[in-house]
């Protein structure tokens, strides 16, 4: 009662909902292994804490300009020059409450009701609902069977006169795939030629493994930022493990940034001043922790891929970046353990207390997303429990926290 039909038509974020479920179960004393949320467990960089602490001690925590504190925008511009080789004007930068809000504000600024936005499955869980919140229509392009990256041909075929944007997320959440230079190049050139916005969700661009570098959209852009339809989104959450600070940004033409600023001025006024300063501290301070975090994620990637190889009926394509993988669990459906990815995720949570996210929430049934952003010990324990739950040859009993669980389902 009292809730609009429209609000009821929007689903809750499954990653956030599962995170809360895991927290509550842990509070009740359950032995939970959390392979659900993409959240590194590191402490925030000292430079971030020090910068925020000195601002806090000063006591003057006030509004900032809507699009961000000038000194922080300078840090974003420097980051863009160093990491993307592109110089942008402060008027092309807007700071938002996380990359998530930057993506939403960008969509909100460009979409009219009925416009279409192409999403590349497997896509991040929040994209379709964000598009719907703008009264626009998500159009999903799926990859060929057995692959996790859509081909350019398939994307091109989904374009209609109503297509306003394509959201590109590489390195990809949930698959960990890094799109090839060819694909990124084709997409950028196509979008710039056709005036379609390519929203590049680059939040994982520094989290790449095996010496791979994620191709940058600017390498292929033939236009000045103001004449380009590219909208590049980034933030500090994943690179610095500063998820709770909620600081992200978008870089786009001044026209788009100005429209995003107008919307932001009427909703949040500005992003938290304290958190912008913390982000500035992190970005201008020593960068060794970034590499430390990346290396620990690469190690966890190696561990999870090796451990998953021992789980019967499961196969995985080795991720080249992020801290997620998307193993194919369809063998478990054939074995009758669950009928789909949602049921399997609930089964693993209830039987062995492992949190995963169903592939269906990423637009690809048959898979589960596993996050290896936590500790290596957690990754090992989680996959061990999953293997025990799915392997008829494993001993009948397993110790899970304080309890002994007897497998009566295989
Ligand atoms: N992006 C992370 C994830 O997919 C954080 C949770 C969220 O905001 O959805 O797990």
Tell me the percentage of the chain whose pLDDT exceeds 70.
Answer: 100
Q: Band of the pLDDT at 335, cuts 50, 70, 90? A: confident
Pocket test for ligand 1, best of 102, 103, 124 (most atoms within 8 A of CB): 124
- What atom in ligand 1 is closest to the CA of residue 371? 10
Query: pLDDT per residue over 223-278, tens digit each?
Result: 999 999 999 999 999 999 999 999 999 999 999 999 999 999 999 999 999 999 99
Residue 410's pLDDT is 85
Find residue 167's DSSP bridge partners.
Answer: 119, 199
pLDDT at 153 over 80: yes
What spacing in Å lies between the alpha carbon of 53 and ligand 1's midpoint?
A: 27
From atom 2 of ligand 1, which residue's Cα is the shortest distance away?
38
Residue nearest to atom 6 of ligand 1 (CA): 15
The CA 25 to ligand 1 mean position distance, Å, reads: 19
Residue nearest to ligand 1 atom 1, measured at CA = 38
Residue nearest to atom 3 of ligand 1 (CA): 38
CATH of segment(s) 46-284: 3.40.640.10
Calculate how far, in angstroms, residue 207's C-alpha sits from the geometric centre of ligand 1.
Answer: 15
Q: What is the pLDDT of residue 162?
A: 98
| DSSP character string of 292-355 | HHHHHHHHHHHHHHHHHTTSTT-B-PPPSBSSEE--B-HHHHHTTS-SSHHHHHHHHHHHH-EE
Atom number, ligand 1, closest to the C-alpha of residue 174 = 4
The verdict on the CB of residue 12 being under 6 Å from ligand 1 is no
Confidence of residue 1 (pLDDT cuts 50, 70, 90): confident
How far apart CA 209 and CA 386 sit, in angstroms, is: 25
Packing angle, helices 126-133 and 98-110, rounded to 10? 40
**Res 372 pLDDT > 90:** yes
Closest CA to 207 of 163, 261, 170, 153: 170
Tokens of 393: 């040859």
Instruction: Give yes or no for residue 163 CB within 6 A of ligand 1.
Output: no
Atom 5 in ligand 1: which residue has the minimum CA distance? 38
Q: To the nearest whole number, what is the mean pLDDT of the chain? A: 96
Distance 16 CA to ligand 1 centre (A): 7
Q: Examine the pLDDT at 327 and tell me if it is beyond 80.
A: yes
Q: Is the backbone peptide bond immediately before 171 cis, with ω within 30 degrees of 0?
A: yes
pTM strictly above 0.75: yes
pLDDT score for 391: 94
The fraction of the chain above a pLDDT of 90, given in percent, is 97
Does any ligand 1 atom lie closer than 6 A to the CB of residue 38? Answer: yes
Report the CATH number of the 5-43+288-406 domain.
Answer: 3.90.1150.10
CA 408 / ligand 1 centre spacing (Å): 33
Query: What's the 68 CA to ligand 1 centre distance in angstroms?
Result: 23
For residues 161-181, give the mean pLDDT.
98
State mean pLDDT over 363-372.
97
Domain parsing of the chain, residue ranges:
5-43+288-406, 46-284
pLDDT at 336: 87
Contact 384, 311 (CB under 8 A): no
Q: Report the relative pairing of strands 324-325 and 368-371 from DSSP bridges.
A: antiparallel
Rounded mean pLDDT, 60-73: 97
Work out the angle between the directed axes of helices 376-390 and 341-352 (0-180°, nearest 10). 110
What's the pLDDT score for residue 384?
Answer: 98
Render pLDDT for 7-38 as a digit per residue (tens, 0 to 9).
999 999 999 999 999 999 999 999 999 999 99
> DSSP assignment of 355-381, as one string?
E-EEGGGGT-TTBEEEE--S-HHHHHH
Confidence of residue 357 (pLDDT cuts 50, 70, 90): very high
Condensed to tens digits (0 to 9), the pLDDT of residues 172-205 reads 999 999 999 999 999 999 999 999 999 999 999 9
């Amino acid at each position: 009662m009292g809730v609009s039909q429209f609000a009821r038509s929007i689903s809750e974020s499954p990653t956030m909902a599962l995170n809360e479920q895991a927290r509550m179960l842990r509070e009740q004393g359950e032995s939970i292994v959390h392979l659900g949320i993409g959240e590194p467990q590191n402490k925030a960089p000292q430079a971030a804490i020090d910068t925020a602490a000195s601002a806090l001690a000063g006591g003057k925590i006030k509004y900032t300009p809507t699009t961000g504190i000038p000194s922080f925008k300078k840090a974003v511009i420097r980051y863009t020059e160093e990491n993307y080789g592109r110089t942008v004007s402060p008027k092309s930068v807007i700071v938002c409450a996380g990359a998530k809000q930057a993506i939403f504000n960008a969509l909100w600024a460009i979409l009219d009701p009925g416009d279409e936005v192409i999403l590349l499955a497997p896509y991040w869980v929040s994209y379709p609902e964000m598009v719907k919140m703008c009264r626009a229509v998500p159009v999903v392009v799926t990859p060929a069977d057995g692959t996790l990256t859509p081909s350019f041909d398939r994307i091109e075929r989904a374009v209609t006169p109503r297509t306003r944007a394509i959201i590109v997320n590489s390195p990809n959440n949930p698959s960990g795939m890094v799109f090839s230079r060819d694909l990124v190049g084709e997409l950028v050139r196509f979008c710039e030629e056709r005036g379609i916005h390519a929203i590049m969700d680059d939040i994982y661009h520094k989290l790449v493994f095996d010496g791979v570098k994620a191709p940058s959209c600017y390498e292929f852009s033939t236009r000045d930022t103001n004449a380009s339809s590219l909208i590049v989104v980034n933030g500090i959450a994943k690179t610095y493990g500063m998820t709770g600070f909620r600081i992200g940004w978008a870089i786009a033409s001044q026209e788009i940034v100005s429209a995003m600023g107008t919307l932001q001025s009427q909703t949040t006024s500005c992003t938290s001043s304290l958190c912008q300063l913390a982000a500035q501290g992190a970005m201008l301070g020593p960068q060794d922790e970034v590499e430390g975090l990346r290396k620990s994620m690469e190690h966890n990637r190696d561990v999870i891929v090796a451990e998953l190889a021992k789980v019967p009926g499961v196969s995985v394509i080795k991720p080249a970046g992020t801290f997620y993988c998307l193993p194919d669990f369809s063998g478990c459906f054939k074995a009758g353990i669950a009928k789909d990815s949602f049921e399997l995720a609930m089964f693993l949570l209830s039987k062995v207390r492992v949190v995963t996210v169903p592939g269906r929430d990423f637009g690809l049934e048959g898979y589960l997303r596993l996050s290896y952003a936590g500790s290596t010990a957690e990754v090992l324990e989680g996959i061990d429990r999953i293997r025990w739950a799915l392997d008829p040859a494993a001993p009948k009993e397993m110790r899970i926290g304080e309890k002994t669980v007897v497998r009566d389902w295989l």
